[in-house]
Amino acid sequence: MKHTILDCYTDEPAGLGVPPYLGTYPRYIAGCLNEEVAYLTIDDLRLWKKHNGIVKDIKPSQKTDITTYNLTINYKNIQKILENTDTLIVVLGVHVPGKYLSAVPGTLHEIIPMIRDLRCRKILTGPAVFGTQLFGGRFFEKADLKVFDKVDYSMFNFKYSDVKGYAVKGAKIIRQIPDYRMIEIETGHGCDIGKCSFCTEPLKNKVEFREKDDVLKEIIEFYRLGCRFFRLGKQTCFYTLPYAVELLKEINSNCPDIKVLHIDNVNPVKVVMDKQKDFEITKAIVKYCNSGNIAAFGVESFDLEVVKANTLNTPPQIAYEAIKILNKYGSESGSDGMPKFLPGVNIIFGLRNESKKTHEENMKWLTRIYDEGLMLRRINIRQVAIFEGTSLFNEGKDKFLRKNKKMYWKWRNEIRQKIDWPMLKRVIPNGTILTNCYAEIYDGNTTFCRQFGTYPIIVGVKGRLELKKFYDIEVTGQMLRSVTGKVVVEKEVIREVYKNENRG
């Protein structure tokens, strides 16, 4: 039986699979099938359905078409591949909507008409089995799923003892991806607190951690295949890993030429608790990971009333203490020009008991952080997306979203203007040399570049640089959430490393 995996990309509280990231679901599926599967992206399908498979040159005045940017090596043969497919496995689902620089995740409303007439068995898997929504401030997307022969929950019911072999075998799909990818590595699932009103993670998994050696074997396999960018990102808190320090040490000793090793989610409470072991985990992250690293703090709100009403994980004072700790150990600049390890803060609007006071409290704490000379690498602000099964859906729903909708953009813009902008001048001042910036897309006569990493800063450069190449860029100015710069060195080093003969 011939299987084809269609990756429509995934974004969850504990995992990212939107390019340039490669998520875990298509890899595990490929490993489980243990056969030569075809890997396609939603971009491949869009190009075939909307543009007859033809990649068009863009004019100097045009923006890169990010809906068809992430093509696999299979895009020219997609019709033949699908005609020979017995089972199509669709990986889809966004639970934490974001703004993506060079990709657009697929939606159910988009994908269903494009696959309806395919003569094969169709399976839907990924976070979409619990709901999906590409935009914040809305309920989950409702669609008629009759086109699918099966809605498969098995990706959320497995034990890590079952998946350890799949994870290594499934790494081979990287051979079908011609571009660089940041490999999202799963270390555990489920949340050890699991009470936040809006969060879908407790619906999907009980708390379980992978064996350290299994994680290491998967990374080594991707490294053998030429991959050099990794994030230990698919967990709700890196600090809860029982082997966090040992894993970082062993990755470094087994994969000495890794270009980027970063982490993602961190519970601020665990950072403060790390004090009991003399901040052992924090120091190890600074030592063994690459600079530009960020601990994503799910603060969500600095309003204690909202914290209590939504059973959030972090009171404002604890978040503040954790921010101070990471600044103490991670604020020094590293080899790529960025500070080694800084906190990032997530803020969500539309939660229970939100009021004008909520924004005042957010501004009070953020202003205190800035006035005390501390650094935040980024502040993510979004409106909550509401999913069935969460306590927010069951109690309150979109009451506060509707109540404060007209204030959202005003509140958001005040944070951007008064905190983000001056903060960027502190974190990435003019004259900073950001090394190995990847030219990703065009917007008219501007090229947008980023380093590979966890929440990397966007760098706007005048002119149309050759895309998918690396450059060292000197920072010349700051915008609200990005910086401007000029090229000082064009690089080829990483490109040659990635042409590992084992890529196939």
The mean pLDDT of 109-130, rounded to a whole number, is: 96
The mean pLDDT of 132-158, rounded to a whole number, is: 93
Q: Are 327 and 376 in contact (CB under 8 A)?
A: no
Which amino acid is residue 241, in one-letter code? Answer: L
* pLDDT of the residue at 502: 47
Q: Where are the alpha helices (DSSP H) in 335-395?
A: 356-371, 391-394
**Domain limits, the chain:** 3-156, 180-427, 433-501
Q: Which fold has domain 180-427?
A: pyruvate-formate lyase- activating enzyme (3.80.30)
Share of the chain above pLDDT 90, in %: 90
Strands (E), 17-157: 21-22, 38-41, 87-94, 121-125, 150-151
Q: Give residue-wise pLDDT tens across range 171-193.
A: 999 999 999 999 999 999 988 77
* pLDDT of the residue at 378: 97
End-to-end alpha carbon distance in the chain: 23
Q: Is the pLDDT of residue 475 over 60?
A: yes
* pLDDT of the residue at 492: 61
> What are 344's strand-pairing partners?
296, 378
Q: Taking the C-alpha atoms of 139, 140, 144 and 146 in order, what is their torsion angle to the nearest 10 degrees? A: -160
* pLDDT of the residue at 203: 86
Q: CA quadruple 302, 303, 304, 305: dihedral positive or negative?
A: negative
Q: Give CA–CA dist 245/373, Å, rounded.
A: 29
Distances (CA, A) of 263 to 98, 238, 247, 248, 285: 18, 7, 12, 10, 8
**CA angle 295-7-300, nearest 5°?**
30
Distances (CA, A) of 344 to 269, 330, 347, 456: 14, 12, 10, 11
Q: Give residue-wise pLDDT tens across range 90-113.
A: 999 999 999 999 999 999 999 999
Residue 472's pLDDT band (boundaries 50, 70, 90)? very high
Q: Taking the C-alpha atoms of 303, 309, 311 and 317 in order, what is their torsion angle to the nearest 10 degrees? A: 20
Nearest alpha-carbon partner for 497 in 203, 258, 260:
258
Q: In the predicted model, what is the mean pLDDT of the chain? A: 94
**How many Cα atoms sit within 13 Å of 383 on the Cβ side?**
24
Q: Give residue-wise pLDDT tens across range 47-96.
A: 999 999 999 888 888 999 999 999 999 999 999 999 999 999 999 999 99
The mean pLDDT of 308-315, rounded to a whole number, is: 95
Q: Is the pLDDT of residue 504 over 60?
A: no
Q: Is the pLDDT of residue 211 over 60?
A: yes
Residue 495's pLDDT band (boundaries 50, 70, 90)? very low
Q: Where are the alpha helices (DSSP H) in 39-146?
A: 42-51, 78-83, 108-115
* Cα 370 to chain centroid, rounded: 26
Residue 494's pLDDT band (boundaries 50, 70, 90)? low
The mean pLDDT of 394-406, rounded to a whole number, is: 93
Residue partners of 99: CB distance under 8 A and separation at least 6: none
- Fold match, 180-427 / 433-501: no
Residue 206's pLDDT band (boundaries 50, 70, 90)? confident
Q: Which CATH class is domain 433-501?
A: mainly beta
* pLDDT of the residue at 496: 43
User: Running DSSP on this structure, what letter comes out for residue 480?
Assistant: S
Residue partners of 253: CB distance under 8 A and separation at least 6: none
73: helix, strand or coil? coil
108: helix, strand or coil? helix
Task: Report the predicted TM-score, pTM, of the whole model to 2 decimal places.
Answer: 0.95
Q: Give CA–CA dist 390/325, Å, rounded.
A: 32
The mean pLDDT of 356-372, rounded to a whole number, is: 98
User: Running DSSP on this structure, what letter comes out for residue 8?
Assistant: E
Q: Give CA–CA dist 485/52, Å, rounded.
A: 37
* pLDDT of the residue at 59: 86
Residue 500's pLDDT band (boundaries 50, 70, 90)? very low
The mean pLDDT of 441-452, rounded to a whole number, is: 97
A 10 A CB-CB count for 339 gives: 23
Q: Give CA–CA dist 72/44, Å, rounded.
A: 7
> What are 5's strand-pairing partners?
39, 89
Tokens of 374: 């501390």
